[in-house]
Amino acid sequence: MGRSKHPASEDDETQDHQIARLQALLRKAHTDLQVERTARSEDLRRIAEMEERVRDLEARAKSLAEANATAAELTALLEERNRSLEQANHQIAKANANAAEMVALVELKEDEVRALNRALALANAQAAELIADRETRMAEIQRLNARLMEEIEVRRRAEAQVKNLANRLKRANRELERLATLDPLTNVHNRRGLDRMLELELHRAERLGHGIGVLFADFDNFKSVNERFGHSGGDAALREAARRLRDSLRATDHLGRIGGDEFVALIPGVGYPELEIVANHFLKSLSRNSLRIGDQELWLTLSVAAGLLPPEVVDLDGILRWSRRTLQRCKEEGKNRVHFLHKD
């Protein structure tokens, strides 16, 4: 007869197996952390680049302001020259008036007529010079106006670029804020996101005077899923289960994963009758149909502790302390069920 294996040896093998699994979990967690840090570093680098472009556009805007000041000085100079032209035109008008008087005197004195003709010729020559100077100055004004319009267009484009970059930066910040409040595996709220939603709902409940329902759920025998399908299969099961749980809730409800296979749902604006309907729908969203992991079928069930949030519970840690004991009693009495917490 063969010799039976010593019990101590079997315990050692079990411990070695558990240690190996823990080491594998630690290596995976380290790898996930490195990936998340790399992604965060890339996001910060992109934000730094956008901020650098914004500073460059601000410098261009400053240069444009200096160009506008120069254009204002040139405009003032042109206005001064226009005043000179007006004075010249006034002088021309006076000369023409004098010429008219001289023509009237032609019949009286030929000598005076010749003198007047010479004076008129001189006045006309001066007028021609003034007109030529005025045309030159008008051409300069048109050139300066064209330059000013170009500068205005450059400034408009620069302002549009600054506005576009500012909008892109706002969108990037909003996306970073959104990612910081989501669980990367299941795409539902993480603890931080759920804390934020709880704070908002507490303020709304205080203002409107309605209750907040809580569903604290834990998967039944989820350890066996990882043992059967490995951690990648367990992750796939968690993703699909979280999607079903989210779809079973109302649009105004909030679902969060607080670690492992534990989920918390906040159900605002309900009493116990409405909460019971939501909780049963939440429970059946998993047990009604199986999940597919690769080419294999998997059935998952939940144990759920449900209740209306009492006034003294104002944070997520308080919710967990309040509901975990009830959830444990729920599992002891029978899994795949909802146990309702009633205020003492």
Q: In what order do the strands lie in the sheet with 262-268?
A: 254-259, 262-268, 212-219, 302-308, 337-341
| Per-residue model confidence as pLDDT tens digits over 52-69 | 888 988 888 788 788 788
Say which residue, 131 or 192, is predicted with more confidence.
Answer: 192
Query: What is this structure's pTM?
Result: 0.51
Whether 252 contacts 307, CB under 8 Å = no
Please state the domain extents for the chain: 52-178, 191-341
What is the per-residue pLDDT across 218-248, written as a single tens digit (0 to 9) for each? Answer: 998 898 898 889 989 999 999 999 999 999 9
Is the predicted pLDDT of residue 307 greater than 50, yes or no? Answer: yes
Between 109 and 190, where is the model more confident?
190
pLDDT of res. 184: 94
| Cβ neighbourhood burial of 121 (10 Å; 0-12, 13-18, 19+) | exposed
- pLDDT band of residue 6 (cuts 50, 70, 90) is low
| CATH ID of 191-341, from 3.40.50.300, 1.10.600.10, 1.10.10.10, 3.30.70.270 | 3.30.70.270
**What is the second-level CATH architecture of the domain 52-178?**
Orthogonal Bundle (1.10)
